[in-house]
Structure 1
Amino acid sequence: MGLGIEVAGLTMTYGDLRAVDDVSFSVRPGEFFGLLGPNGAGKTTTLEMMEGLRVPGSGSVRIGDLDPRRRDTDLQRVIGVQLQASSFFERLTVREQIDTFAALYGVPAGRGLALLEQVGLVEKADVRTEDLSGGQKQRLSIACALVHDPEVVFLDEPTAALDPQARRNLWDVLRGLNESGRTVVLTTHYMDEAEALCDRVAIMDAGRVLRLDTPAALVRDLDAPVRISLAPGTLDRDAAVALVGADAVRESPAGLELTTRDPARVLAALAERDALAGLAVRGASLEDVFLSLTGREYRS
């Protein structure tokens, strides 16, 4: 079973900037926990204080009974860390790289090869790391973080440079880790990723936690309308406007989009008119929650 994490009153300032402002939350043993927020929200700084890579200005972190600020060998054995920017030993092949990480932890070399297979890098085992693509380096970084079979795994935007296939395959790896009892803490800008993987998420902005709950509960609390898209030619605009329960109708080359807070009534009315072919229904998502809480302006 993975270890629980207690974060209490974390604060970090850089001059006049309060990057992390009195952040507190708990991560349950074996939980898949997400830290979400726009650029500059304080996610990575919070994560680095949890990992022991950065000393808090104030506040504390406990991973089980361990204090990350001490950076002792007991802590290093139980946590695995994948950073946003990865650095590897120069002029080593992929196989040599992961075998070196394994040796640092006293892990048999065969473990490294098994992880390369999990992240889809066996065919690149004899390629030097400097010749890998950005996505391949990202996958190698994750394999190195897992080589000693840690109880707690910290992942900072692990799929940022991955193509869709590699991203979905990595989701399977991360789900497997969590299902085996590991505690996983993830930061990501992909809301679908957080919605698919995380048991709970904390949405941060300006160094503070704005909301913390399960993705499903956050979406329910938003109380957003449902959008129903109709294929072109399915129903004319006047008929759509006349539907009971349709709050608004928008027309585009892709067809009609109906907005409603009573989707059951609208769908029943469409069924009576034999207008269900090509229909798509979209409710609110975690992305809608994120934008509602943090706004839509660009962040540098």
Structure 2
Amino acid sequence: MDGFVNLLKPPGISSHEAVQRVRRLLGQKTIGHAGTLDPAACGVLVLACGQATRLVEFTSSLVKAYRAQVVLGITTDTLDATGQVTSHRPVSGLTAADVAAVLPAFVGEIWQKPPAFSAIHHRGQRLYELARRGEEVDIAPRRVQVHDLRLLWFRIPCFLLEVKCGGGTYIRSLCADIGQTMGPGACVLTLVRTAVGPFLVGDSYTLAELEAMTQAGDTSFLQPLEAGVEHLPAVTLAAGAGARWQHGQAVGAGDLAQMPPGLAPGYDCRVYTGDGRLAGIGVVAAGVPAEAWHLRPRKVLRY
């Protein structure tokens, strides 16, 4: 079984546990996920089955969308409602305009410090393991991309925020930083991931739905391999070039029956056979002279 599954992860289980449950449901060991969701969060968790696991790395550039319900005046050690309260400050007098006024500072490429309670590795251990033992780690800030922030509603002390961002962005940290900028601090009450690129929460399947469909022999929940990489430009191999590609050999521009204009060194591309099957992912490599570029295989898929 090869393809992607748009799972509606429920709150209360880790992404790893969600993967384990789907492995048992589908009777398939080779399943991974594209982008961890916190245990307390719910929403879109993109699962990769079979050969799709080899394409997960190319989903990292997909834009992710979230809706976060935030409470002002309360901070916790986990930056959400699951943690221990570390401060409680008054918020009287704050308005929706006050929230809206600080949001532009958090749009674009920003520096962000990941939460202490996160799955990031530090010297062979997860940060949350160290945090649970009370060990403090100086976490270096990272550059992340926030594409859009919108205030959907405000009712003191809470507000609802819609976020569109790149991979590696921690919504808990973002909301905590917004609260700190406003003064009283803040933490996330609820968090829903509403989209990962083309995978939308409205099209996702619950674990119960997957179980029922699997028992009925219905695999329509499985999306094709292309679903996770459709944001990449596509090229088509000419007749005779497929065998070389399958053996991991580079192909030149003359070996392509179809290609989009403007390809340049460093571009990743979907590679198709002449009959429309996805053969893998290639990267454009410079040649000598420059116009003699070639396509080097990054992932070769069985077909």
TM-score (norm 2): 0.28
TM-score (norm 1): 0.28
